[in-house]
């Protein structure tokens, strides 16, 4: 796990007083390094990702490290997980690949749904120093074809037939980027039902070649 992320994560653990043994889920777990690092701290971890390829790699990494972690292929916008299953949820560098606000809202609602009452959410994603979206504007998925860079964009069809597109934010025009200001991030968390404990900027740069694209960290919880 990157040292900046680890330090924010450790601050989260002490702030919300997570005790070893409780259960957590990382959404968009990729090849598993965050999920496995958190598991090594004594938490009972599940990682979920839409890509079977990265899930296979994550399983291999966990096996090599002797860590017992459950990795599952699934969609962070609509999982089949039971409600109120986890004590905490994690989103590291996955929300910032989602530009469309209605999909971000869908994911945050899914986080809320699978958390137990009193459960916590940790987010570490790219930020913007200015507001990015008119909150009343709905982004139509078809419009993104104009700036679509195929090799940087994943397209998915959900089981219900809905098409979604996930792209790397630094290649998007500002109004479709997955970057958000601290205020916008806090607002989207509150709209999903969360109480925000902390939401702050970090000096870490996601892509050092792109000026100003720093990271933000948020700690939130679902009320009991
Ligand atoms: C930038 S990577 C971050 C991976 C990991 N969290 C990390 O920090 O190393 C974003 C991940 O989100 C996954 N992803 C994208 N859309 C998803 C979806 N709808 N459901 C679950 N995972 C998704 C991608 O497959 C990718 O592994």
pLDDT digits (tens, 9 = 90+) for 161-197: 666 555 444 344 444 568 888 999 999 999 999 999 9
pLDDT in tens, 7-21: 999 999 999 999 999
Q: Are 139 and 102 contacting, i.e. CB atoms less than 8 angstroms apart?
A: yes
In angstroms, the first-to-last Cα distance of the chain is: 31
pLDDT of residue 166: 54
Q: Residue 97: CB within 6 Å of ligand 1?
A: yes
Q: Rounded to two decimals, what is the model's pTM?
A: 0.84
Question: Which pLDDT belongs to residue 138?
Answer: 44
Supply the DSSP symbol for 152. G
What are the residue ranges spanned by the domains of the chain? 3-139+173-221
C-alpha angle 169/31/86, rounded to 5°?
90
Distance between CA atoms of residues 185 and 94, nearest Å:
14
Q: Choose one of 9, 26, 36, 94 to mutate for the ligand 1 pocket test, by most ligand atoms within 8 angstroms of C-beta.
A: 94
At 224 the pLDDT is 93
Segment holding 195, helix H or strand E: strand 195-205
Does 120 score more than 90 pLDDT? yes
If one counts every other C-beta atom within 10 angstroms of the C-beta of residue 196, the result is: 15
Alpha carbon of 5 to ligand 1 centroid (Å): 16
Any atom of ligand 1 within 6 Å of the Cβ of 93: yes
Mutation pick for ligand 1 pocket among 4, 30, 72, 73 (CB with most ligand atoms within 8 Å): 30
Domain 3-139+173-221 has CATH 3.40.50.150: yes
Task: Kindly tell me if the per-residue pLDDT of 88 is higher than 80.
Answer: yes
pLDDT exceeds 50 at position 32: yes
**How many A from CA of 48 to the centre of ligand 1?**
8
């Amino acid at each position: 796990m990157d040292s900046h992320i680890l330090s924010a994560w450790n601050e989260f653990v002490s702030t919300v007083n997570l005790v070893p043994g409780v259960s957590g889920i990382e959404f968009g777990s990729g090849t598993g390094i965050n999920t496995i690092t958190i598991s090594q701290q004594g938490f009972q971890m599940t990682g979920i990702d839409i890509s079977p390829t990265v899930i296979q790699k994550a399983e291999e990494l966990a096996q090599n490290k002797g860590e017992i972690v459950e990795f599952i292929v699934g969609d962070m916008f609509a999982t089949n997980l039971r409600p109120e299953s986890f004590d905490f949820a994690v989103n590291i560098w996955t929300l910032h690949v989602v530009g469309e606000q209605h999909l971000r809202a869908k994911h945050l609602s899914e986080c809320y749904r699978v958390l137990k009452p009193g459960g916590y959410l940790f987010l570490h994603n790219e930020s913007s120093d200015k507001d990015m979206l008119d909150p009343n504007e709905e982004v139509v998925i078809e419009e993104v074809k104009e700036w679509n860079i195929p090799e940087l964009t994943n397209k998915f069809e959900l089981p219900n037939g809905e098409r979604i597109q996930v792209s790397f934010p630094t290649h998007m025009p500002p109004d479709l980027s997955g970057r958000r200001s601290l205020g916008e991030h806090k607002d989207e968390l509150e709209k999903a039902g969360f109480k925000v404990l902390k939401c702050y900027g970090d000096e870490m740069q996601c892509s050092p070649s792109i000026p100003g694209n720093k990271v933000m960290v948020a700690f939130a919880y679902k009320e009991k």
